[in-house]
Chain A
């Protein structure tokens, strides 16, 4: 089973600032890496797939990078609606599909 590890657990950022979230896989997942956003009381929403491709309707301020075992999600200028929990997930080696434990982006 591939273990996904996200850091930091919590990121405190001011509106308008840049945020960078990290995700590490225990073995290579190539580019089979997705990022999801989850707001309180809501279902997750797909942001990024293939490590760097934005899903339909996702603003350009969200970008993904990396391959192999090291990945990053960058939000270039945080808006109020971006404060949420973000999860990475690998879909290279399955089952199981595995998620990171999440990074909470909170208002500083």
Chain B
């Protein structure tokens, strides 16, 4: 079955960086696009970034453009989210999600990122 396991969350000061990882299993990772979606405490879902199956296409929400970078390593079935210049408003649970025909069909359990001094 599809499994997505995020890691790398934690408490970080404003302006610092953090790198999230998502290890995938149970499907042919290299043939699917992958997304990051976040959810601030008590709030709704916000799409963050997407990467195509082969890494040639990336897109970002305006709120993170220029600060966050999505990447993937198909040899290790892992997708990453490099987060730089973090702000208090980036505090959220970050979910890794698998795409199927532009649709998100499976989600990981999430990792919490808290940006605070």
Contacts and interface: CB of A to CB of B under 8 A. Distances in A.
Given A99-B47, A102-B44, A46 B104 contact: yes
Interface stretch (B8-16, B21-29, B71-79, B105-113): B105-113
B108 A91 contact: no
Nearest to B109: A43
B32 interface: no
Contact of B59 (A36, A43, A46, A94): A94
Contacts, number: 55
A46 B104 CA distance: 8
B54 interface: no
Interface residues of A, number: 23
Nearest to A6: B44
Interface in A43-80: 43-46, 49, 55
Contacts of B106: 46
Contact of B35 (A36, A42, A46, A97): A97
Interface of B: 35, 44-47, 50, 59-62, 95, 102-110
Interface of A: 32, 34, 36, 38, 42-46, 49, 55, 87, 89, 91, 94-102
